[in-house]
């Protein structure tokens, strides 16, 4: 007992000395003097309180820092995490070394000999899955169906977790079903859509003819055509060319701004307050506003019934009149944006790669031409011809394998703890799906680095192994625009090759090394389209 009294007297003395020292620091001295009526005891109480608060904050901060680099139990293998930055540095270095994030991550996974890679970018734990089995699991199991709820993704959807692409749960289910059903009702995936695509093919041919054998870069005309079709089904009209080019430029600038901001803003959203311009935040907001204005204008035209016919926006506005809670104009705006963003560059980039492929390989081009000429002659191509043009289809499958447009699909969010290859992926972790690696897996493909359309044709001359590629994903979140994309790519590609021989003016062939950002695109090239004498 005595001992403890002595101890407590000595503790008090020590505390008083420490408080005394603390009081002499300028900040505390000012705080104490400004707060109290110069009473010494009161001053000590305040100073003690301050010490406690500072200590608690320091402990909390230390706990947060320790937690931020401590991996959860059985988390998938990957580089070491550091406070605040996670393993961003090594991921960026690998991405730079291998040319893009998809390849950088895939080489990291090889270094750790794993099919489930665990990383942390800034404060966000991320798991990247590899191998056909794991990729199929993420695409098809319900637990992987969510989308992350981070600032960056909300920024993509005009500030809220809405629309289809980045929504999840009931909102996603209801609106995905509604959109798919009503796009079909207005002709999407049916003969009406094929008619629109064939009309666009005529415009493309006219555009090529107007250039009188001068080499052209097919990028813009292909992008315009896809956008026209998407806009026709969504907003019921063809936009005038000037507006269309403005819209395309906005989408291009937007994906560039997102790629630029991807690193910084995604990992540390608060930097937008410090560097609103340098972080790309202001630019994205400006572009979002301009896109929003275009869609709002289309909605207004529909409200005034100045667009004839029926289209997706009319269907949605009717639903809003039924006072269904989740059917709002804001949701309509984000769905329109989802369709334009997800559908335009993905489709036109695939076609651009298809044209580049035949430009680089005359033998393949002549084989495709011969098949088209023999089977179709001069008949306008339609999707039903795809069954008969086996080599052409094999070529287009190989294009979608070799130049995987979305090499890292997702992002997904796990709705509860889940195990994969004996590792634990904790609830709410972001998951990326390395489709690109499945498309180059040597266990699945003979000589995967070789461009070989024949790999998709069996001994009996029939298409084979087409289910082993996932350009549109699979499962309940698979791409709802695949019917449009497939028909567009097939009809426009066949229509162009039926009429023209595609040649390179320069001695040097353009590179087939893709630029891989959020999606893959071809490096800019020009091609000469020479009319065939058939």
Give the nearer residue to ligand HEM in terms of CB position, either 147 or 499.
147
Residue 252 Cβ vs ligand HEM, minimum distance, rounded to whole Å:
16
Q: Tell me how crowded residue 317 is: count the other CB atoms within 10 A of its CB.
A: 16
Residue 475 Cβ vs ligand HEM, minimum distance, rounded to whole Å:
7
Residue 508 Cβ vs ligand HEM, minimum distance, rounded to whole Å:
28
Encoded tokens for 197: 């695509």
Beta-strand relationship, 408-413 and 430-434: antiparallel
Beta-strand relationship, 124-129 and 116-121: antiparallel
d(Cα 85, Cα 68) in Å, to the nearest integer?
Answer: 9
Residue 479 Cβ vs ligand HEM, minimum distance, rounded to whole Å:
3
Which uninterrupted H or E stretch holds 39?
Answer: none
Dihedral over Cα of 350, 351, 356, 358: its sign: positive
Residue 480 Cβ vs ligand HEM, minimum distance, rounded to whole Å:
5
Give the nearer residue to ligand HEM in terms of CB position, either 32 or 351.
351
Give the nearer residue to ligand HEM in terms of CB position, either 373 or 478.
478
Give the nearer residue to ligand HEM in terms of CB position, either 95 or 344.
344
Give the nearer residue to ligand HEM in terms of CB position, either 47 or 197.
197
Residues contacting 201, CB < 8 A, separation 6+: 380, 381, 491, 492, 495, 496
d(Cα 438, Cα 172) in Å, to the nearest integer?
Answer: 27
Residues contacting 75, CB < 8 A, separation 6+: 118, 125, 423, 424, 425, 426
Give the nearer residue to ligand HEM in terms of CB position, either 353 or 391.
353
Q: Closest CB to ligand HEM belongs to which residue?
A: 481
Give the nearer residue to ligand HEM in terms of CB position, either 22 or 492.
492
Q: Burial of 320 by CB count in 10 Å (0-12 exposed, 13-18 middle, 19+ buried)? A: middle
Q: CA end-to-end span of the chain, whole Å?
A: 111
Compute CA 444 distance to the chain's CA centroid, rounded to the nearest angstrom. Answer: 26
Q: Give strand pairing partners of 431.
A: 127, 412
* 87 annotated to a ligand binding site: no
Give the nearer residue to ligand HEM in terms of CB position, either 32 or 247.
247
Residue 212 Cβ vs ligand HEM, minimum distance, rounded to whole Å:
31
Residue 261 Cβ vs ligand HEM, minimum distance, rounded to whole Å:
21
**Site residues (CB under 6 A) for ligand HEM?**
164-165, 176, 230, 338-339, 342-343, 346-347, 350, 405-406, 409-410, 471-473, 477, 479-481, 484-485
Task: Supply φ then ψ for residue 417, to 5 degrees.
Answer: -55, 140
Q: Which of 28, 59, 57 is nearest to 45 (CA)?
A: 28
Residue 529 Cβ vs ligand HEM, minimum distance, rounded to whole Å:
22
Q: Which of 340, 162, 151, 413 is nearest to 261 (CA)?
A: 151
Is the separation of the CB atoms in 348 and 225 below 8 Å? yes
Helices (H) and strands (E) counted in the chain, each on its own, are: 19, 10
Give the nearer residue to ligand HEM in terms of CB position, either 114 or 350.
350
Nearest-5° Cα angle at 351, 347 to 357: 145
Residue 320 Cβ vs ligand HEM, minimum distance, rounded to whole Å:
20
Please give the annotated binding residues for heme, written as ranges: 479
- Give binding residues as ranges: 479
């Amino acid at each position: 007992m005595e001992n403890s009294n002595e101890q407590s007297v000595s503790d008090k003395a020590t505390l008083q000395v420490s408080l005394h020292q603390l009081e002499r620091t300028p900040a505390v001295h000012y705080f104490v003097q400004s707060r109290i009526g110069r009473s010494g005891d009161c001053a000590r109480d305040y100073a003690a309180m301050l010490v406690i608060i500072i200590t608690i904050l320091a402990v909390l901060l230390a706990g947060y820092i320790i937690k931020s680099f401590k991996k959860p139990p059985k988390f998938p293998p990957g580089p070491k995490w550091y406070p605040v930055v996670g393993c961003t540095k090594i991921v960026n270095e690998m991405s730079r070394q291998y040319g893009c994030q998809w390849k950088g991550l895939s080489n990291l996974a090889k270094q750790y000999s794993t099919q489930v890679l665990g990383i942390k970018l800034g404060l966000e734990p991320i798991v990247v899955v590899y191998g056909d089995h794991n990729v199929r699991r993420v695409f098809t199991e319900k637990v992987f169906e969510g989308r992350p709820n981070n600032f960056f993704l909300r920024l993509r959807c005009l500030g809220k977790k809405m629309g289809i692409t980045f929504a999840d749960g009931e909102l996603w289910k209801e609106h995905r079903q509604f959109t798919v059903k009503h796009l079909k009702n207005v002709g999407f995936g049916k003969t009406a859509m094929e008619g629109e695509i064939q009309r666009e093919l005529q415009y493309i041919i006219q555009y090529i003819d107007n250039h009188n054998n001068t080499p052209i870069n097919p990028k813009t005309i292909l992008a315009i055509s896809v956008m026209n079709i998407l806009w026709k089904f969504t907003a019921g009209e063809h936009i005038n060319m000037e507006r269309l080019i403005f819209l395309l430029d906005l989408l291009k600038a937007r994906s560039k701004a997102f790629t630029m901001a991807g690193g910084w803003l995604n990992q540390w959203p608060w930097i937008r307050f410090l560097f609103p311009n340098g972080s790309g935040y202001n630019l994205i907001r400006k572009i979002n506003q301009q896109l929003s204005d275009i869609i709002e204008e289309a909605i207004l035209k529909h409200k005034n019934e100045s667009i004839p016919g029926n289209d997706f926006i009319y269907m949605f506005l009717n639903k809003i009149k039924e006072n269904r809670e989740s059917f709002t104009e804001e949701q309509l705006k984000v769905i329109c944006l989802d369709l334009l963003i997800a559908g335009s560059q993905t489709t036109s980039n695939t076609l651009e790669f298809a044209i580049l492929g035949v430009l680089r390989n005359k033998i393949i081009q002549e084989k495709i031409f011969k098949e088209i000429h023999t089977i179709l002659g001069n008949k306008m191509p339609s999707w039903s011809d795809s069954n008969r043009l086996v080599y052409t289809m094999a070529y287009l499958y190989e294009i979608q394998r070799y130049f995987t447009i979305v090499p890292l699909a997702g992002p997904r969010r796990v709705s509860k703890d889940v195990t994969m290859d004996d590792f634990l992926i904790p609830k709410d972790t972001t998951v990326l799906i390395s489709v690109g690696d499945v498309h180059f897996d040597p266990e699945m493909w003979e000589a995967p680095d070789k461009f070989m359309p024949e790999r998709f044709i069996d001994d009996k001359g029939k298409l084979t192994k087409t289910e082993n590629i996932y350009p549109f994903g699979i499962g309940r979140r698979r791409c709802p625009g695949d019917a449009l994309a497939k028909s567009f790519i097939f009809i426009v590609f066949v229509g162009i090759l039926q009429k023209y021989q595609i040649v390179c003016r320069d001695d040097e062939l353009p590179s087939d090394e893709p630029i891989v950002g959020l999606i893959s695109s071809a490096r800019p090239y020009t091609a000469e389209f020479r009319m065939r004498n058939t």
